[in-house]
Amino acid sequence: MNTFTRISLFLLTAAAILSCSRKKNSFVNRNYHAITSEYNTLYNGGLAYEQGKEEINQNYADNYWDILPVERLALDENIILPDSVRNQNFGIAEEKAVKAIQKHSMQIGGKERNPQIDEAYLLLGKSRYFDQRFVPALDAFNYILYRYPASDNITHARIWREKTNIRLGNEKLAIKNLKKILDSDKLNDEDIADASSSLAQAYINLQYIDSAVVPLQNASEFTRNNAEKGRYYYILGQLYDRMDQLAAANASFDKVIDLKRKSPRIYLVNAHIQKARNFDFQNGDRAQLLALLRDLEKDRENRPFLDKIYFQIGEYYNRLDSVETAVDYYNRSLRSPSSDIFLKSINYEILANINFDEANYQQAGKYFDSTLTYMSPDLLEFRTISKKRENLADVILYEEIAEETDSILRLANMSENDRLQYFTTYTDTLRARAVKTMEFGELPVYTAGIGPRTNFSQTNIPASASVPPAGDLNSGNTGNIFYFYNPIRVSRGAQDFLRTWGSRELADNWRYGSRAMNQSTVNAEERLMDINLDNDPIYDPQTYLAQIPTEALVLDSLSAQRNRANYQLGVIYNEKYREYALAANRLEFMLNSNPQQSLILPAKYNLYSVYKAQNRIDDLQRLEQDILQNYPDSRYAAFIRNPQSVQMDESSPENVYEQLYRKFETQNFAEVIEQSNAYRSQYNGNSILPKIELLKTQAIARLYGIDAYENSLQYVAANYPQSPEGQKAQQLLNTAIPSLKNLEFVADSTQTNFKLVLAFSESENVIADSLEIQIEKKLEELDYRKIKTSRDVYNAEQTFVVIHGLSSRSAAQGFLELLQKDKNIKIEGEAFVMSAENYRIVQIKKNLRNLSNLN
């Protein structure tokens, strides 16, 4: 290398090093750092920022049932750790912005000499904004406003600051500042659009819908982005809809439609649907509306939105009272692929209401369940539907019991030949389906171990049930069940994989190479050859015949269950839903089915009230005469003679319960238990009975202890599962009983509250009463205000007089000696001291004898 070359390289190196300095304000230095930051660091940061925005747009799901937000950004309420980011792309953009500031900022003489640094701060703030770190974003925008007042980006920074204030809930401040920005004469079209759309969003957040209209109109006119234009026009239509200005709303939706392919297709489809919702069915051309909806349905570009289109067609027919056709389209909407969870909930709710109106309460309950599955618990409607569903719980329970028991009894009453014929037909149908499936080269769904749920009830399924409610495992809809929890779906998936890819080893690049030879046909044939339907019990009638009970005791029990269920249904249909025809059908069927004696009179009286509501005079008189002649002394006969006595009846279930509860409060536990047993037959079928039974469990607990209490709770939970009392009993079994059973005596040294207990037999109640009075007089004489007495029942043979509020065992023993020395107080019988905690355990477990082992 010659000398000239060496000198040239040296000078170039020196120039490069000198130009890297951020402390020297020269032309070379300024341009070096400006170009490097713009075309290297900020360029890469800008790419990451745009990728992050694109990712937001792809993942964001608009709720077209509410006013759309101006900007697509779903807020994440989860708290992230410091130095963490929600979106990696925005994290990279922020990192590049910070790097540009750190390496290329030229603060010389109190002024920034690199014209790209304000761009870096703007990118920093926008990245933080979309990563939902709004306070740091606000700091970045404010820094531009305070440090770079002459920047070309000052207007952008001001608008973005107010966008951030809106996200932080400072709408009123943002409105004030955005108005100042819009009053400026130096705004370009995009600045006007951004500021106006942000102003509209602030008004929308504050529910000032009418104030948001003009800013949004300006935003839609000035923006050059057609996607934004379509969104703004659509939101404008929603605002007019909210203000009941349907003509203006439709005009805005027409503008969305006129954009055609210039804006996203979803805006166009939803604009058509919104116009259909605004249609005037009284004066409009219905045929034209239906033709429009049909055209939307047929357009191939609208296939991703068929769920919305089918729903709107269903709404069209529903408005015309063509319920059957409407139901068909609601079901089509449910069958269409959809990410609109709210639409699913609306479809299910409408189907639930249709079934409810048709008195098909079982199916209505299932659809209400599905509605709640897809509906947000935060919505007000969620509570309303939950309450409606709860009210159906008893109907569904008793309908299922009635159907199941009736179908079993019907089969049990058939002759052996008829039963064999019935199940032969059933299994032949299953076999035919399996053979047809195998003809297509697939494994039959019903094979040993994966059989169908047998239900021989002859109840017909209405047309409205063509799409099963979500989560109805027996209906075949397994959309809400985890894939690998459903053996049928797993089997189907394995078949599809084998048919497409053949047998593959678990290895990388499994799609390629020599192992990719398709063996699906061979494997399927081999597996099908191994299946012998003749050996599968699913296709054998004897499998089902063996499940039909024949013992008289079992059949009598099933008959009793069916009668109770039909009685309850009759009462519910009569009193709760005023479905008199259904009520009469259930009660008449029960009375003709050899019912239990305790159900006959209440059923007849309920049927009497049904006939009265139906104005069936002949039937009414027949039942009236029956009750008055055969049950003249019953309260039902009294009600017929004097209908007003129903309200005055002292022996009404409510009054009976109150009297029973008062006895419980006075510790007459044995009497509570005895009378509760008597009321069981008297109030069979009445809603008061579960309350009486639960009260009895508490009396049993106080008298006999934890084990008897547990058995009694199990009875209530099993026999009244849908009542609040049955559910309370089950909750106690799940939570309280285990913890109570685990209670153990504690050592006195850890306690500060003791009791003196004086024991008496049941025959010594008079002595105990007298002693309690004498002790109370002694306490008053001594002015021991913190010490109290009580009478507690221990069990059926023993009661206690208990002195409470003693601070230690020695204090309790000293008080006992004090009582024994008093000539007016005679303590005869057993007396002992225990801590308050151990006394509680003794009363719960009835294990007084075990306490001596501890002391």
pLDDT, mean of residues 652-660:
78
Of 207-216, 223-232, 464-473, 820-829, the range with the lowest mean pLDDT is: 464-473
Whether 744 shows a pLDDT value over 50: the answer reads yes
Taking only the tens place, the pLDDT of each residue in 311-323 is 999 999 999 989 9
Decide: helix, strand or coil at residue 107.
strand
What percentage of the chain carries pLDDT values higher than 70? 79
689 is written with which tokens?
């009975």
pLDDT score of 488: 44
Decide: helix, strand or coil at residue 358.
coil
End-to-end CA distance of the chain: 106
| Percent helix, strand and coil across the chain, each to the nearest 5 | 70, 5, 25
Q: Average pLDDT, whole number, for the chain? A: 80
DSSP conformation class of 549: -
Taking only the tens place, the pLDDT of each residue in 750-765 is 888 999 998 888 777 7
Using CA atoms, how far apart are residues 624 and 602, in angstroms rounded to an integer? 13
Residue type, 736: A
Whether 107 shows a pLDDT value over 80: the answer reads no
Residues 6+ positions from 550 with CB-CB distance below 8 Å: 412
> Which domains does the chain possess?
1-132 (no CATH), 340-413 (1.20.58), 418-446+475-503+519-548 (no CATH), 552-648 (1.25.40.10), 653-741 (1.25.40.10), 750-854 (3.30.70)
Whether 358 shows a pLDDT value over 80: the answer reads yes
Q: Max alpha carbon distance in the chain (Å)?
A: 137
Taking only the tens place, the pLDDT of each residue in 521-551 is 445 455 555 566 677 788 888 888 888 888 8
CB 701 within 8 A of CB 692: no
Which residue has better confidence, 98 or 399?
399
Indicate the pLDDT class of residue 240, thresholds 50, 70 and 90: very high
Decide: helix, strand or coil at residue 61.
coil
pLDDT score of 620: 92
pLDDT score of 458: 38
Residues 6+ positions from 304 with CB-CB distance below 8 Å: 265, 266, 337
Counting Cα atoms < 13 Å in the Cβ hemisphere of 186 gives 5
Q: Which long-range contacts (CB under 8 A, 24 or more apart) does 513-521 make?
A: 521/441
Whether 469 shows a pLDDT value over 50: the answer reads yes
Nearest residue to 87 via CA among 58, 116, 61: 58
Which residue has better confidence, 512 or 87?
87
pTM of the model: 0.62
Number of residues that make up the chain: 855
Taking only the tens place, the pLDDT of each residue in 397-427 is 888 888 888 989 999 899 989 999 999 998 8
Which residue has better confidence, 273 or 461?
273
pLDDT, mean of residues 93-118:
67
pLDDT score of 481: 39
pLDDT, mean of residues 73-82:
69
Taking only the tens place, the pLDDT of each residue in 585-620 is 999 999 999 888 878 888 999 999 999 999 999 999
Indicate the pLDDT class of residue 473, thresholds 50, 70 and 90: very low
Strands (E), 745-797: 754-761, 788-795
CB 127 within 8 A of CB 160: no
Of 564-568, 768-772, 785-789, the range with the lowest mean pLDDT is: 768-772
Taking only the tens place, the pLDDT of each residue in 243-278 is 999 999 999 999 999 999 899 999 999 999 999 999
Which residue has better confidence, 837 or 767?
837
Nearest residue to 148 via CA among 179, 176, 107, 183: 107
Nearest residue to 825 via CA among 784, 776, 787: 776
Nearest residue to 137 via CA among 205, 49, 54: 49
Using CA atoms, how far apart are residues 290 and 272, in angstroms rounded to an integer? 12
pLDDT score of 397: 84
Using CA atoms, how far apart are residues 418 and 431, in angstroms rounded to an integer? 20
- Alpha-carbon distances, residue 309 vs 294, 299, 329, 350 (angstroms): 9, 11, 9, 16
pLDDT, mean of residues 654-661:
80
Decide: helix, strand or coil at residue 789.
strand
Decide: helix, strand or coil at residue 756.
strand
